Amino acid sequence: MRILFIGDVVGRSGRAIVYKRLPGLIADWKLDLVVVNGENAAGGFGITETIYNELIDAGADAVTLGNHAWDQREALVFIERAPRLIRPANFPAGTPGRGAALIDTKNGKRALVINAMGRIFMDALGDPFAVVERELAACPLGASADAIVVDIHCEATSEKQAMGYFCDGRASLVVGTHTHVPTADHRVLPGRTAFVSDVGMTGDFNSVIGMNKEEPLNRFLRKIPSAKFEPASGPATLCGLAVETDDTTGLAAKVAAVRLGGLLEEAQPAFWE
């Protein structure tokens, strides 16, 4: 199976490159599963129903969230009618939506997508390892799912790496999101789970993690807010991770960084050319 995970889409600029490039990538790379982190898609904070539908129409098979899941209050309502929108599984019991979903892929197989949020330097939530264990046990790779993708949304690289090894041999991909800066440690772990500490953002890198530079600089320098954070609107870089799995096991065979457009050095998976 060919999987593309696209990192945190930030604002209009990030959405624009996804809408422009994703349909062609699906065709050219013969992608079977596309997962997009969309928690910053609406002006940098949360997601709306319209944007969710636009991401699905562009070719996303699932959209994951994170700590900004409810910044657009409508998400609390429309998530119940958006079966491919996945919020962190370790939100409290009774939170709207779902923390995992079994998705029909483009090649007629089934993929489990799990979203969990870390606890180091983040809001206090339930144990992400416990909820991921629960979901992996309920829908094991090779028995109930042909592929499993875990989006671990957190600040600390240590927590993300720990989740990678925790899932090694039981998931196709564990991908870190949230910090918006792509790391260079993508690899296949010993148990054949693909991993990266942070896939990076899909947005304008002439910014402070996707936001116009002026207000973040002002707050660092003067410690006084003077305006809202606004997404930078220059040309975006699409950051992602490409994974090819072994069809007999669902585990990773190959992994490569994806960076297209914008300011960062371009990277594409040579094994799909």
pLDDT at 20: 97
User: What is the chain's mean pLDDT, rounded?
Assistant: 96
> If you average pLDDT over residues 176-194, what whole number do you get?
97
Residue-range domains of the chain with CATH? 2-272 (3.60.21.10)
Q: Which of 68, 178, 180, 186 is catalytic?
A: 68
| Predicted confidence (pLDDT) per residue in 155-175, tens digit | 999 999 999 999 999 999 999
> If you average pLDDT over residues 124-141, what whole number do you get?
96
pLDDT at 272: 84
pLDDT at 161: 98
Collapsing DSSP to helix, strand or coil, 127 comes out as coil
Is residue 226 predicted with pLDDT exceeding 90?
no
> If you average pLDDT over residues 119-138, what whole number do you get?
94
Q: Is 68 a catalytic residue?
A: yes
SS3 assignment for 205-253: CCCECCECCHHHHHHHHHCCCCCCCCECCCCCEEEEEEEEECCCCCCEE
For the sheet containing 110-117, what is the strand order? 100-104, 110-117, 147-153, 173-177, 194-196, 187-188
Q: Who wins on pLDDT, 124 or 15?
A: 15
104: which strand partners? 110
> If you average pLDDT over residues 22-29, what whole number do you get?
97
